[in-house]
Structure 1
Amino acid sequence: MKLAGKYTASLALLLMLGIIKANAQRSNFFTENRKSFYGGFVGGANISTVNGDSYGGYHKVGFNAGGIVYVQFAEHFGTSVSLTYAQKGSRGAQLKYSMYVDSFMEKYYLDLNYVEVPVMLHYFQHPKLHVGVGAAYARLLSSSEELLTDQPVYINPDLYVFNKDEFSGLLQVAYQLGKNLFIDGRYQYSLKPVRDWDKIHVRVGYGAPGQYNGVFSFRLMYLIK
């Protein structure tokens, strides 16, 4: 039964990939029956870090979803604006030694939740592929920060505050999978600190020049003509 289930799952996966490939071969969203405006939805994952903390690495996985509108003003050029909910932040783990508990794993949790408005310029380079560059404004909705170590550490959110506004730059690559379906990859980095150097707790980061969000996003995008 287990073997049959594996064959069934493999067959279903191959069939789905075949359907996507066939649809992609038959259709080109931005050239067939071209219009000026397209609306749709995006959803996927953010993989993020905060440069300026003591841990490094893209270990925080969060949600990214919202609505998007494309404006195609030439055969190879267009713009887009979207409104998304974006989870960013950091995760850290380090093996340390203490006179109290000997060796232990220190863990750091930082969650930053934003509503975000990216604006991008796109170049339709290939029948299925388009790339983009742009900028985004984000407003911080909430934040939480916790350090688990050998001794209690309280990070007062009223003292170690994050800036409410974030401005960032964006790079994008998107590829059409099906008639209306795209896979979208983006890299985003803060253009100014999301937390100033004098607001960083000494146990979780270093001072100048502040802290910056770095985010890789991988999303599915569904556009409607």
Structure 2
Amino acid sequence: MAKAEAEQLLGPDGLPEASKEPGPGGAGILVVLMLVPRLVGLGIGFLIFKFGDVSLYQDQIALLASKKLGYLYLSVTAVSVLVQWLNVFPMIYKQKLNLEGNIRANMQFFKVNSTTNPLPYVVLEEQGVVGEYNRANRSLFHFIENMGGVLLCILCAGFVFPLPAFICTLAFFVGRVAHQIGYVSGYGKHGLGFGIVMLVSNILEGLVTLAALSSFGAF
């Protein structure tokens, strides 16, 4: 049976029959998403720090150190980590729902309060132009959900590492557009854009973290 057909086998509650068996949970995914991209971002940031315009970076970091702004930069790192945590934590329960395909674009499942028989959950339309519109907007919401930490990191990383931050910002631009266009085509097609966004977001955060640590004389 094709995947698209399997998605149409809905139970009385409006969710696919496959979702009746709880999934294993996403705690492992949470750990991976919180740690692995962050370590990669720090590693790439360190290479930029060591092999880029070192004299400029050191001058800017010296200015940070003179004003004790390393604490500000660590604060930005903390906010960036928090934003990602708040976005990733629901994955634990999303995995338990054991959903596949376009229905995963639903951020909430609503129900109609009924005094008689329970009614199916209310979900996003997946089919046709309405479904494409819904997924395009889901990508927009994904951008809004993650933008707080990224914006702070762009500003702070840009002060110390102006060119690398600019390049990361352009890549973020491309990634977000690819994410939205891909999502319109169907769930899973946004993967490339998601990967680009995650990579450059963590590079920016890594640059901010490295600038903070360097301002305290860590290296």
**Is TM more than 0.5 here?**
no
TM-score by length of 1: 0.24
The structure with more helix, counted as a fraction of residues: 2
The structure with more strand, counted as a fraction of residues: 1
TM-score by length of 2: 0.24
Task: Tell me which of the two structures has the higher relative contact order, counting C-alpha pairs closer than 8 angstroms and 6 or more residues apart.
Answer: 2
